[in-house]
A and B are shown apart, each in its own frame.
Chain A
């Protein structure tokens, strides 16, 4: 007879795992339910778990505040900042991974340290800069800020992924007569595609979810979905159902996107972790 796998330790682990998973999922589940309720149902105490769902909130959100406009801004800012970021980070990572210098580690640490500073610390100077250069409430302002704030992570991730490519392969390309550009496009790029893809995906998600700078630098014109969600919270009191519907519409694209690219994302997060 097969020994039972349902040992007490196994049961404890299972229950604990489910508890953690539910805890993490709870806000999302709540959001999902509330989005399909009426405002009255949404604030009912005790909360209603069974109700007849309505799409009214979604209509309302689109009518009142042009969801597609904000969604387009989100797409433009996150895609553009990711592409520009990759174009800047890849050469930096290449230089540090394949042409080692004495201060590479220091530079990398310095880059990372900028992420440790609270963003609000740079708010005033950046706000003034944006204002003086007429960039407040534009896509461009957000693209610049997203790119810069993601750069340290991008350089780190690409550096880690490039380091796994043996230098000798690039040297072989050089011996074969490849110029720097040919070396980069015909050898490094195909070999580093995995790293570039996961780095790009992660930064796309980070830019999409970015709220601090979107809220502070943009409003109705250049605002992203984060701005849209926020607009449902304060001025006219809290509208839980509409807020949930707006949030759901804001996160849905990136959740679907993340679902399909999760393998790449996980790979990107574990670069260099295992040999």
Chain B
């Protein structure tokens, strides 16, 4: 049986069914990331696991124990909040030792654990300061420290990096990954940032409208999305999805029968820009984004559809230039008219 098991978890806010029967098994030591657009229920699901919201249906078991209706204080989970939620009237040391003191842990053990966590997080010199005397990044580390001193069964992170600036976010992301490697703790991490999801997760859970769209390793989601939503949600720039009817006949003919009235999905790297007239798919450059390491070329086809191509080489092309696109049908994803993936029969 899984370490943390969600079975048919339901949550209503008034008449609104926010979480619609979630089933999920999380193994011990796994790093799970919940990702999805805002309002998809990812934070709500985390708060249900934390016990901060009441579970209206289904069961939640942790390490073989039913904790569906256990109060937060009895679940042995630690949470890092988006706003950090440090205790403003306590020093960093007191913030980090608060949970252990409540659990009546021996003072020397508390001292050891806090000093140890402070060393891991580079907070040793700040232990006597109050939260308002710290920078955003330091507060973030205190919030993480408060969680790790307890050695909880599961760490919960609720968009912990969204209040940091871009540089610090990248750095903290690396630190969190390292921390997870060192501690091996089971972790559930909520984010709307797919780069965080892809880089941190063992498995990613993609949510939409209170249901799970797909669960898988980051590369599984990228390479084998279960549907059009996941395909377009994972990956930047997002996957090109074009109605088959908008493509020239030779390409459309390669589609599996079930996708005949559906869509073709193409990652930007499986679209190659060629000289005009060299392939049946022709169009005009809309925009060129030169990012240095890679170049994104947005091409408008003669029928109006827009495709983006990604290449590593720089390009002399400019907006308005006529080009042709080389599309590798073998790398294409096919979706039926409802957006479900259609696998091509061999």
Q: Chain A interface (Cβ within 8 Å of chain B)?
A: 166, 168-169, 171-179, 182, 186-187, 190-191
Q: Is B139 interfacial (CB 8 A cutoff)?
A: no
Chain B nearest CB from A182 CB (Å) reads 6
B85–A171 touching, CB < 8 Å: yes
B89–A175 touching, CB < 8 Å: no
Beta-carbon nearest neighbor of B50 in chain A:
A175
By a CB distance below 8 angstroms, the chain A residues around B150 are: 176
| Per-position 1/0 for B58-82, Cβ under 8 A of A | 0000000000000111100111011
Chain A nearest CB from B8 CB (Å) reads 24
Interface locus among B98-106, B107-115, B174-182, B243-251: B98-106
Task: Classify the interface of chain A: helix, strand, loop or mixed.
Answer: helix
17 contacts between A and B (CB under 8 A): A168-B82, A169-B86, A171-B72, A171-B85, A173-B87, A174-B51, A174-B52, A176-B150, A177-B73, A177-B74, A177-B99, A177-B102, A177-B103, A178-B102, A182-B102, A187-B87, A190-B89
Chain B nearest CB from A97 CB (Å) reads 16
Q: Is B232 interfacial (CB 8 A cutoff)?
A: no
A168-B85, A169-B88, A187-B87 as given contacts; A175 in contact with B79, CB under 8 Å = yes
Q: Is B83 interfacial (CB 8 A cutoff)?
A: yes
Chain B nearest CB from A162 CB (Å) reads 15
By a CB distance below 8 angstroms, the chain A residues around B103 are: 177
A169 contacts which of B77, B79, B82, B85 (Cβ < 8 Å)? B85
Chain B, interface size category, equals: 20 to 34
With the chains together, A90 CA to B83 CA distance in Å?
25
Beta-carbon nearest neighbor of A182 in chain B:
B102
By a CB distance below 8 angstroms, the chain B residues around A168 are: 81-83, 85
With the chains together, A172 CA to B131 CA distance in Å?
15
Chain B nearest CB from A83 CB (Å) reads 23
With the chains together, A187 CA to B71 CA distance in Å?
18
> 8 tightest CB-CB pairs across the interface, nearest first?
A176-B99, A168-B85, A172-B85, A174-B72, A190-B89, A177-B73, A175-B79, A177-B102
With the chains together, A44 CA to B73 CA distance in Å?
74
Q: Is B333 interfacial (CB 8 A cutoff)?
A: no
B81 contacts which of A171, A186, A190 (Cβ < 8 Å)? A171
A172 contacts which of B71, B87, B89 (Cβ < 8 Å)? B87
A175–B77 touching, CB < 8 Å: yes
By a CB distance below 8 angstroms, the chain A residues around B52 are: 171, 174-175
| Per-position 1/0 for B14-53, Cβ under 8 A of A | 0000000000000000000000000000000000001110
